[in-house]
Amino acid sequence: MADGKESHEMKRTEIKPNSLLGAILPVSGVLEIQNDMMATYFVASNHWRSLLIIGQSQVQRNGLLFQAALTHASLGKQVMCVMTKEFTRIPPTTHGLPNMEPGNMVNITFKYCQEMKSLSELLISFCSTQNELLPDVLVVNSLNEYKRSKLLLSGTQYASILSLLSETVEYIGRRKQTTVLLYVSLSLALTQEEQKTWIDLVKQWTHELWILEGNANRLVCGRIQVQFTVLGSNMFLKTVSEID
């Protein structure tokens, strides 16, 4: 391969439908996702599932999470998308998956929080929200843009915010007696050594952590890599492979 990584394309029978990535790209079958979440009762709860995407490309991150919202909305789920501001342009969506039809958009609610305080207040407000008004899917876009101060947030602070999001989603799931899904994206400018330490920390609070590699249109989770391409307003899945 051009980037020097050896891989082999996974057979369809090797891919399992347990990955939340299936709402973003048309991966079929079973993805053997490994995580390093803490072995607690909360983590083992079947009332929540989560996926975190870390990457520099805002266009790709916006498109990937917006596609998750559209896919779940098309299934009749109530989706809440939390962002700091409105999209300046419509994000790309995945070819072959649900798109911006009126029937899908009616199930998506957009909330805008410019600071971490307003995001926390939104989460707390769910405690007094009627069950039928609670979201089935919570999408939090570009977590790094929510300002707490002029200083950059540390890995520990991000882990704290992710734990609050996770606990809130699990709480909603218990109230609704269902599995509520959480999708989060963020961008970090870290060295490779800093990234490894940071990732090891936040892995404790997410079921799936996918790294969006630069402008390579590639998502990596452990030994699995998913290659896609972006052409105009569409994203296309290319290959799913395993890194040797």
Indicate the DSSP class of residue 22. G
At 10 the three-state DSSP class reads: coil
Angle in degrees, CA 95, 96, 99, rounded to 5:
75
Q: In which band, very low, low, confident or very high, does the pLDDT at 15 lie, cut at 50, 70 and 90?
A: very low
DSSP 26-90: ---SB---------SHHHH-TTEEEEEEEES-HHHHHHHHHHHHHHHHHTT--EEEEESS--SSP
Q: What is the pLDDT of residues 191-236, one digit of tens each?
A: 667 777 777 777 778 889 999 986 789 999 888 899 999 999 999 9
At 15 the three-state DSSP class reads: coil
Q: What is the pLDDT of residue 6?
A: 43
Maximum Cα–Cα distance across the chain: 53
Pick one of 3.30.470.30, 3.40.50.300, 1.20.1600.10, 2.60.40.10 as the CATH number of 7-243: 3.40.50.300
